[in-house]
Structure formats: C-alpha cells, structure tokens
Structure 1
C-alpha cells in the first residue's frame, strides 16, 4: 500500500493536538485491574503494576465502534487508514503515587506522526504523551507509540522449543477476557478467534501487549523494588495457551515465547 505525501501531511496536522480528561481514581477499577493481573487485591496498600492503565479508559457509543472493536478512526487520534493498529512501545516515568478516591487529570498530546516504508511494509507511527496529575502535581508521564500497518499475510504459529529459564506464564482465555474487561479494550484479536484468524491472519487469539508489559513490570518490582521509570517494546505477538517465560536480567526484563523469540523487552530505572 502506498500513501501519498499529501495524506501524510494531513495526518501530521494532528501533531500538537491535546485532550484533557478528569475522573476519580477509583479503587474498584484498580482492584479489577489487579485481579486481571493476578496481583494483590488490597489496592489501598498495594498499587497494581502499571495500574494507571485502569484509569481514563476509552469510552465511545456503540455506533462509534469500528470493525476491529476499537473506536472508529478520527477524533483525537489522526484518521489513519492503514487497517492494523497496535500499542507497540512506551516510556513511563513515575514521580508519585496517585491518591485513591480523589480526582485526577490526564492531559494527552499528539507528539509525532511519522511514515516508514521498508521491508516490513508501510507503517505510520504515532507518539502520544499522557500526563496524569493530581492537585497540580504530575505523577505519571507516559509516551506511547502506536503503530498502524498494512494487513500483511498470515502469521505462522509458534513452534514449541526451549525458551530458556525464567518464570512461566501461560495466559488462558479467561485471563484475556478479564484483562480486556478491566481496560475496556474491545480489540477483537483478544476474544474473537474467527476474526483474529480470518481478518488479521493470526493463528490464535493474541495476548494484549499491555498485559505482557504489566506482568514484566510486576517481575521488575519483585526483583529490584519500585522502578522510577519503565520502558518496553513489543517485538513479536504472543498467542493464547502457550507458555511464556518472563526473565529478569540487569534491569532488563524479557517475555520469551515457546519458540525462544523475545516477544517483549523492558527496561527499568531506579
């Protein structure tokens, strides 16, 4: 698929756009998120790994849901026409703990829109910065990269091998459903097998990238204490029902598939 320069320039006019939302930091939303991760439910004492993802969820009416289950294109994000979209990476800094039961404000800004064309096909990358504050003090600053790409061909199934040492994690259907529910993520690749296989070419349901990232963050906390910053990059999809090894290195954490491929790599800063 080729995209003309005028279309790219139009999408780049979204750079600098902002939206601001305010909502209460709901302990029950955090509790559902913690439950989906398999973490401590006493969120009043133990904040869930990357628990801010349980807040400021994307809510649109039923008539504004696209064929893939995401909100339709346009609005705050540019109306990019490439059919596949995914949350590819993020860099997050934590400067304080959000207070439960109190209002918080999230300010979101489109920081960059860029076009890439190469061996992997046509890509458009969108950088979005989210700043979550309470009482005028920033507590979370996150820069996300969303990737839009061509439909592509069929993704081959994972062939079991020896992924190496580490903590075994095997997410099941109920895990994917609970995480989708806790984050109000309607993307059909996580629950609709005929869609995932027939429309997007995956061999099985796909594990959410943020789910994997939160599990790696939890491993980092158990290994080295509370990180001041956390960054991750998705490198390959993880599919339902296959064991994943979560491994700790020197402030580096990996989610390795059954075929030995690193599906996600994360780093921390103390």
Structure 2
C-alpha cells in the first residue's frame, strides 16, 4: 500500500528542473588521493571515473543529516522516506578532462518518479551532471537515487559452494575509509558499524556502490579508453566477505559470495 500521497509527490516534483552550477580548477591532489583509494599509484593516467573526485560536497556540521548525508531540501527535495541510495548511473566521456583547467559542473534534477516495490514506496530521482572545460562537455552523467522506507533487517549472505568465478576483491575497513575520504562520502553505513547494523539493519559495514562501480570500470578500462559506462546496483555488498569481479559478453558484474549479482555494468570503448 502506498504511503506517499499525491500532494507529497507533486511537492517533491517541483524540484525537477532545479540546477546547481559550480566551478573549480581541476587540481591533481584530489585526483591522486582518489586514484590511490582505488589501488592506483596516482602518478600516471587519470583513474576510472575520475570526475567523482571533483566537486565534492562540503556541508557545514549543521547541514548534515543523521545518516551522514547532506540534509535534504537544498538541492535534492526533502523526500520523507528515510533511506537514500545511489542506485544507478549512465556516463558518457566525449573528451578527456584536463588537469589544471577551470571546470564547470552543472547539476540538474531531470526526473522524480514514484513506484511501489515489494518493500513499499520507492522514489527515484534522476540528476544529470555535465562537466565542461573550455566550453566543451567532457563528462555527462545521469545519476539515479532511490528513496525507500526502513524495511526489514538484511541477513549476512551465506557463501555458496562452489564459489563464484572471477577476480577476487576483498576490501578492508581502511579501504572503505580511504574511498569515503577521497569522495567526501560521509554516509555512516560505510564506517560506523553500530549505525549500519543497529539503525539501518545491515549485518556489517556496506561497501560503497561507487567503489564497486569504479572497480568494474577499471576492469573494462583494461581493454581501452572508456567512451561510456553505466551500472545498476542490485544488492548490497558487505565488508568481510569476498567479491568476485568478472566480465562476460560485454557485461561486467560484481558477485557476492552467495552467487547474487550485486552490481551489473556495461561499457563502450573509444
């Protein structure tokens, strides 16, 4: 049964078309920290999805919500559903970013829709981001966020036998912290275990969706320069359990120890 009223939805949809324009110079230090968080030396080429190290949020203490995210209602609408996740993204890279150049990012809310899922109300917000240098769009990304109710507690996945196939990725707590720091992601599910388990109902710290996406993009980038990359998060990944990264017929997947596909991605090369 829906708990979101038509009046609430109409109010939130008033945010569609809202824009945020920011400008900054693309400095090498944030890109180096981001590269190192992904396991690169940070001294050579730009790491996969390097634009995620740019235009980082910097809210004041009183502008941060209880989950660690910036409070809603400034740019994104004040959706009342308590849980918010980065669910999917579609990116295009028309030309490479140039370090040291002044860069403009325009963020625009392009859609806000309501659906009923198995756990109840779901609100999907789509935000387009365009990064420009010298009047040229270098990166275009459409991010999808999903808002939902609290829901039931999530059990720890039970490993299957035989184990999945692919490259094993086993991030540790420090890796999660470094990625959070490099992307200014203060969501507490990635570093505050009591909050993650007692408040949000997860069995352990949650591996960042963007961290997983960047690892899949790195896998795709071994074959050439990315022209486009898209991903969809399908299930959470937890600290303390291995993740298998693999490619099959042009589809890149992150697989949990129980065989569940946690993320699926596609890429095209220039």
Q: Which TM-score bucket, shorter chain as reference? A: over 0.9
Task: Find the aligned partners of 1:164 and 1:240 in 2 and give their Cα distance.
Answer: 17
SS of 2:107's partner is strand
Aligned to 2:103: 104
State whether residues 163 and 245 of structure 1, in contact with CA within 8 Å, keep that contact through their aligned partners in structure 2.
no
Structure 1 residue 40: deviation in Å? Answer: 3.1
Shift of 1:248: 1.1
Task: State how 1:248-259 maps to structure 2 within 5 Å.
Answer: 248-259=247-258
1:154–1:202 CA contact under 8 A, matched in 2: yes
* 2:212 aligned partner: 212
Q: Give the conservation status (yes or no) of the 8 Å contact 1:231–1:266.
A: yes
Q: Whole-Å Cα distance in 1 between the matches of residues 153 and 39 of structure 2?
A: 32
Give TM-score scaled by structure 2 length: 0.97
Q: Structure 2 vs 1, CA of residues 26 and 163 (structure 1 numbering), >3 Å: closer, same or farther?
A: farther
Distance 2:123 2:163 in 1: 31
Structure 2 CA distance for partners of 1:198 and 1:89, relative to 1, 3 Å: same
Written as runs of structure 1 = structure 2, the 5 A alignment for 1:1-270 is 2-42=3-43, 45-161=44-160, 162-222=162-222, 224-270=223-269
Q: Secondary structure at the match of 1:228?
A: strand
Corresponding residue SS for 2:244: strand
Question: Is the contact made by 2:189 and 2:196 (CA closer than 8 Å) also made in structure 1?
Answer: yes
- 1:163: how far off? 4.0
In structure 2, distance between residues paired with 1:225 and 1:251: 13
Q: Secondary structure at the match of 2:176?
A: helix
Q: Give the superposition deviation at 1:164.
A: 2.1
Structure 1, gaps ≥5 residues long: none
RMSD value, Cα = 0.9
- Deviating above 2 A after TM superposition, structure 1's stretches of 4 or more consecutive aligned residues are none
Aligned length: 267
Deviation at 1:68, TM superposition (A): 0.2
Q: Is the 8 A contact 1:128 1:143 kept in 2?
A: yes
Tell me by how many angstroms 1:118 deviates. Answer: 3.0
Deviations 1:91-142 (A, max 9, x none): 0000111111111000011000001113231110000000000010000000
- State the distance in 2 between where 1:102 and 1:30 align: 13
- Contact 2:119–2:149 under 8 Å retained in 1: no
**Retained in 1: the 8 A contact 2:93–2:228?**
yes
State the Cα deviation string for residues 59-80 of structure 1 (Å, max 9, x = none): 1101111100001111111110
